[in-house]
Each structure stands twice: as C-alpha cells, then as structure tokens.
Amino acid sequence: MQGNIIISKADKTLSGTIQLTGSKSECNRALIIEALSKGKVKVKNMSDAADAVTLKGVLNQESVVGSQKTEVRSQVVIMADGDSEPSKSEIVNLKSEIVNLKSEINIGPAGTAMRFLTAYLPLQDKNVVLTGTQRMQQRPIGVLVDAMRKLGAKIDYEINDGFPPIKIHSGFEQQTNRIAIKGDISSQYITALLLIASSLPQGLTLEIEGELTSKPYVEMTLAMLQQAGIAHTWAGNSIGIESQPFKETDLVVEPDWSAASYWYAIAALSNTAELFLPALKAYSLQGDSVITEIMANFGITSQFKDGGVYLQKEAKPILRKIFDFKECPDLAQTVIVVCAALGHDATFTGLETLKIKETDRIAALQNELAKIGVKLTEKGQVYKLDCSEKRIPEKVIIHTYEDHRMAMAFAPLALVIPQVEIEDPTVVEKSYPAFWSDLEKVGFSIKK
Ligand SMILES: O=C(O)C1=C[C@@H](OP(=O)(O)O)[C@@H](O)[C@H](O)C1
Ligand SMILES: C=C(OP(=O)(O)O)C(=O)O
C-alpha cells in the first residue's frame, strides 16, 4: 500500500473472527533453533511478519552459502590431491571465494534478527557484515558484542562503536563458559546468547547484572529450547545451559498476542464487541498475553474455548489507574492510546526501554497524543497521562516514525475520531502485514 490511508468506522460495533499470523518473537527463536539443530527441529506455522520472513531468508541463504563453501573447499582438496599441485595463487583465490560468497547481510528494521544473528553468525565460521536500517544503526548492540567477544568471537564495528553495522570474522574459538551481562537494556541480548549456548563446546552460564527487563521473553526462549530438548538451570541471577544436542521435534508458532492487543484496544473503544481470535492459548509463551488482564480493566472479557479466545465487551467503569510495562513493553503504546481515547488519566511505569525501539516511542507518543490535546509527561521513571484538555477533532493525521506499533496503536482511534489518517501504513508489515485488510473485514473503511 502506497501513500497515506484514512481509516473510519461508521458504527461502534465490533464482531467477527480474525486469524492472526504467528508471533514474530516465537518464530524468530524457532528459526534460529531450527538452523542450529541442523534439521532436527522444524518450524510449524511460520509467521508472515516481515522480520521473521527476513530472518528465514538470511538463514536459508546462509545454508546455501554453507554448502557452496563445502563445494569450494572440496575443490581445494581435489586440487591438492590431484596430479598437479595447485599453485599458491589458485589456493588464495579459492580461499577468498569462500570468504566472499556472502559478505553483507541487511536485516532491515528487525531488532531480534539483528541480535540473534550477532550471536549465531560467529559460530558459522563467517566473514560477514551485519547491518540494518538507519534506525537499526542507532539501536545499541554493544552489550551483546562485548559478551560475544569474551566468548571468543571476532567482531569489529564498521561505523560507530556499540552500534550496527558490525563485521563478524571467522575463527570462533570458545574462551570461557561464564559471562556477566547487563539485563536492563534489552532481554534480546540474553536470548541471543541462550539460543546458541547448547551449541557451544563448553556450554554457557550467564550472570545477569541489574534488573532483567522484558523477563517473559527470556522465559519464552528457555521454554522453546526446552521443547527442542535443551535443558537449563536458572537460580537467582544465573542461567546455565550445558553443551547438548537438540532433539527431533516441531516448534509450532502460536498467533501473535502483541497483534491481538490491537483487537483488544478496538473492543475497548467500541460500544459492543464480540470477536473470536482462533488458536490463541490461555497459557501462552508470550508475555503479551497479559493483555487479557490489562483489558479486563476496560470491560473486555476473554473466554478461552473452541481452541481460541472470545473477546466480549461489558459496560463497566475503568478500574486501574497504574500500569507497569516492564514485562510487556510492546503493549505500552496500545494501552496508552486507549487510555487517551477514553480520557482516562493514568500512570505508567516500566517504559525505560521504549526509547531504543523502532523509534523513540516516548517522544512519538507525546507528539501524536498532543494532536488530540493529551499530554504524556515524564518524571523520572514515572509517566503521567493528562487528558484534561483532550479534544476530538474531525480528523487527525498520525505520523508513524517507521514504527509498526505507532500505526497499529493509533488506528483504533477511528472509533472516537471520524477520520484517522495514517502515514506510511506499510510499516505494519514488520509484525502484522494483514492488519489493514483485517480491519476491513470487520467493517472499517480504509481509503487511500
Ligand atoms: O525477544 C523478543 O522477541 C523481544 C523482546 C522485547 O525487546 P527488549 O528485550 O529489548 O525489551 C520486545 O520489545 C521485542 O519486540 C521482542
Ligand atoms: C521492539 C520490537 O521489535 P524488535 O526489537 O524486534 O525490532 C517490537 O516489535 O515492538
């Protein structure tokens, strides 16, 4: 879809069934595990999220390159075994062919792919530059690169220390099996290391320093590794995984609960809502399934039956005034916009990591909420929403800052504002490409 779109909804009722695509978080873990397991583990219900499709493409390409390398290497062996000895220059050429088979990988805006590959690629005996979008080049990676260097990886920065692009060199040899790592910047660094731990000759124990942010994502990683036969220990701040083989299994990706959160937001802003989301589980590996509890405060009930979840709206006063997003940072925009739309002054904590995501999500929220007169103010680590000067214009234009969640979190405003114009609507492809067509399925009008 090119250009802006204008969203509107003639009535305030929501009903239907929406089949959500697979979780990008689960899928990206499953893809790395599949690649490390060398065929033992298979990913089922591959996500349509662009970030997952990108990672799959890179890993497939890597395995093609891997077999090309083997071919080139065996050519060297044949030449060396042949009647005529290969000349020095022939060997040098073949060696550089090996090195140059693939020299740059660009993962676009995919944060988890960037982090997971930073741990995965050094183990593949590669010389490769790993890069992404301009924004990706501002998202920190230093904590993970430091940890990988201590482990034995050879990694240089191409432009700025601590940020992509990074150059990964071949020749990994494990130097230690115990690493201390900061837990309060991104849990993705920890997940990246845990994913490769069982494939390291000496295994790996991580000592997490400071508070662990986004903890459910680390639990998801360990649960998925467990499903693939990898045992761990977790005592206090120390997580240990011994060197061990994967077992043959399928990893089935559940639909995306972060995507489901936008449907909860739409339900919360509708007068009546009856929506079925198939295949979502009550006991999910995804921490964002906590949206069921959060949205109960806005009158949305969740009933798990028929293999999915039914959402229903009950007329109820809003209960909660304080929301903490430390364990579910991707829900922050969804819930804050719902509070603003309902004029519900509330307090938010656990937003520390939002400034280093797809955009500075705090600044983005502040700018866009100001368009309806709502203020989000920061005092230390506590954020307050002030709706006292809220206004409902005929039309609002939402800038999306290359952030899928800005587009999807503000779209539900179409239930309270006659026309919501979304700039750069294709951003949703990162995690939920069918978002706009799914809105149309339940009666939203989407015009270019
Ligand atoms: O591991 C994951 O799949 C993710 C972890 C979280 O990041 P942080 O750990 O950086 O908060 C989350 O925001 C991101 O969308 C996905
Ligand atoms: C932060 C996110 O993704 P990533 O870090 O994987 O780019 C997100 O999807 O909200």
Give the integer Cα–Cα distance in Å for 197 and 191: 10
Would you state the pLDDT for residue 86?
56
Common-topology check for domains 5-23+254-447 and 24-252: yes
CATH code 3.65.10.10 for 24-252: yes
Q: 261 falls in which pLDDT band (50, 70, 90)?
A: very high
Ligand 2 within 6 A of CB of 21: no
Structural domain boundaries in the chain: 5-23+254-447, 24-252
Ligand 2 within 6 A of CB of 330: yes
Would you state the pLDDT for residue 439?
98
Q: What's the mean pLDDT in 309-314?
A: 96
**C-alpha dihedral over 174, 176, 182, 185, to 10 degrees?**
0
Ligand 2 within 6 A of CB of 110: yes
Ligand of minimum distance to the alpha carbon of 52: 2
93 C-alpha vs ligand 1 centroid, how far in Å?
42
Residues in the chain, overall count: 448
Give the integer Cα–Cα distance in Å for 224 and 202: 21
330: annotated binding-site residue?
yes
- Atom 10 (ligand 2) nearest CA: 330
Q: 213 falls in which pLDDT band (50, 70, 90)?
A: very high
Q: Is the pLDDT of residue 283 over 90?
A: yes
pLDDT by residue (tens digit) across 36-85? 999 999 999 999 999 999 999 999 987 666 555 555 554 544 444 444 55
Residue 38's CB is within 10 A of a number of other CB atoms, namely 11
Would you state the pLDDT for residue 80?
44
Q: Which tokens go with 181?
A: 């790592």
Its pTM stands at: 0.92
**C-alpha dihedral over 270, 434, 257, 234, to 10 degrees?**
-160
Mention every residue, 6+ apart, whose C-beta is less than 8 A from residue 31.
43, 52, 55, 56, 59
397 C-alpha vs ligand 2 centroid, how far in Å?
24
- Atom 5 (ligand 2) nearest CA: 111
pLDDT by residue (tens digit) across 87-98? 555 555 555 554
Classify domain 5-23+254-447 by CATH number.
Answer: 3.65.10.10
- Atom 1 (ligand 2) nearest CA: 357
180 C-alpha vs ligand 2 centroid, how far in Å?
24
Q: 361 falls in which pLDDT band (50, 70, 90)?
A: very high
DSSP element (H, E) containing 411: none
Q: Choose between 421 and 80: higher pLDDT.
A: 421
Ligand of minimum distance to the alpha carbon of 217: 1
Mention every residue, 6+ apart, whose C-beta is less than 8 A from residue 107.
51, 54, 55, 58, 113, 114, 117, 130, 131, 132, 136
Q: Which residue of 288, 333, 357, 400 sits with most ligand 2 atoms within 8 Å of its CB, as the best mutation to test the pocket?
A: 357
Mention every residue, 6+ apart, whose C-beta is less than 8 A from residue 283.
none
Task: Confirm whether 125 is a catalytic residue.
Answer: no
- Greatest Cα pair distance in the chain: 87
Would you state the pLDDT for residue 126?
82
Ligand 2 within 6 A of CB of 309: no
Q: Which atom of ligand 2 is nearest to the CA of 329?
A: 10
- Atom 16 (ligand 1) nearest CA: 25
Would you state the pLDDT for residue 437?
98
pLDDT by residue (tens digit) across 7-43? 999 999 999 999 999 999 999 999 999 999 999 999 9
Q: What percent of the chain has pLDDT over 70?
A: 91
Strands 166-169 and 128-131 turn out to be antiparallel
pLDDT by residue (tens digit) across 139-163? 999 999 999 999 999 999 999 999 9
Ligand of minimum distance to the alpha carbon of 195: 1
DSSP calls for 142-195: HHHHHHHHHHT-EEEESSSTTSS-EEEES------SEEEEESSS-HHHHHHHHH
